[in-house]
Amino acid sequence: MELDSIECVSSSDGMIDDDEIPLHHPHSFHSQYSSSKTPNNNNNNNINNSSSNNDGTAAIHSTTSVHELLECPVCTNSMYPPIHQCHNGHTICSTCKARAHNRCPTCRQELGDIRCLALEKVAESLELPCKYGSVGCPEIFPYYSKLKHESVCNFRPYSCPYAGSECSVVGDIPYLVSHLRDDHKVDMHSGCTFNHRYVKSNPREVENATWMLTVFNCFGQCFCLHFEAFQLGTAPVYMAFLRFMGDEMEARNYSYSLEVGGNGRKLTWEGTPRSIRDSHRKVRDSHDGLVIQRNMALFFSGGERKELKLRVTGRIWKEQQNSDGGACMPNLCT
């Protein structure tokens, strides 16, 4: 489903602007998440048992060596039980073993079902830094707790918030803003108020459709404005909502309002933008935004209800803590 026409008016005129399995799959994150790590394919290295010298260099080297031993030679991810090995001692993670057709990717010998119990025991004694340490995470975790933390780490990269396709791009916020502008051709606007007009010539032919029309830059942050039509049960509805390009804690510092109306009536929504950590579908399915039934949308459109003409206006503001009473006071963007 496509819109016949869209008009966007910003309150500000500024713009922001084979059977073989390779022994290494490059994993790349964008911007500061780019990885320069190279895989170590020699899993027969002896663990460095040297005693620590005065500056701790030997101890650090020992931990690093063990960490390299625990790196799968195929996917380069850390290995977790069950850790498998071939008769020659080459190790491989359980995920890659399932893809290896029972052949060791290092020596091509049969893998069998041999567990590397010694390496699994060594892993139990390790404490390792979060893999996002290079971009600011200071945390250190027991080996078996590391994966769980990294899946929710505040320093992990963000997924592309574009809702019109299943985009797999990840990166930091500046990279994703450029990606949305250059690759998805999303409109970029500066300012904290907006005025959109949505027009559809035959609103009775509503199928599930998603439109993300604009990214707004205000208070030095970026916000994604979504407007879409979808089936809610048997009835088509329209929904507008805002997402914050940052984590949930930061999102709580902001509020926004949306308003739609016509024929002397109006609907207003006010709330806190959801972080792009929450998927677009999760926000939509929770109805966390301005939801407009089709009959009401047609009433707002006026005329003979044969054409959808919705004007959605809104604004974004920052909540400021009042030092006297502790209440939040709105800081409006001008």
pTM of the model: 0.68
Decide if 216 contacts 9 (C-beta within 8 A).
no
Residue 149 confidence (pLDDT) above 90: yes
Higher pLDDT, 288 or 66: 288
> What is the per-residue pLDDT across 81-98, written as a single tens digit (0 to 9) for each?
889 999 999 999 988 998
Better-scored residue on pLDDT, 151 or 45: 151
Q: Specify the pLDDT at position 211.
A: 65
Spell out the residues 6+ positions from residue 61 whose beta carbon is closer than 8 angstroms to its own.
Answer: 48, 50
Q: Are 117 and 138 a contacting pair, CB within 8 Å? A: no
pLDDT digits (tens, 9 = 90+) for 53-80: 444 444 444 555 777 888 898 998 888 8
pLDDT tens string 199-214: 777 666 555 555 666 8
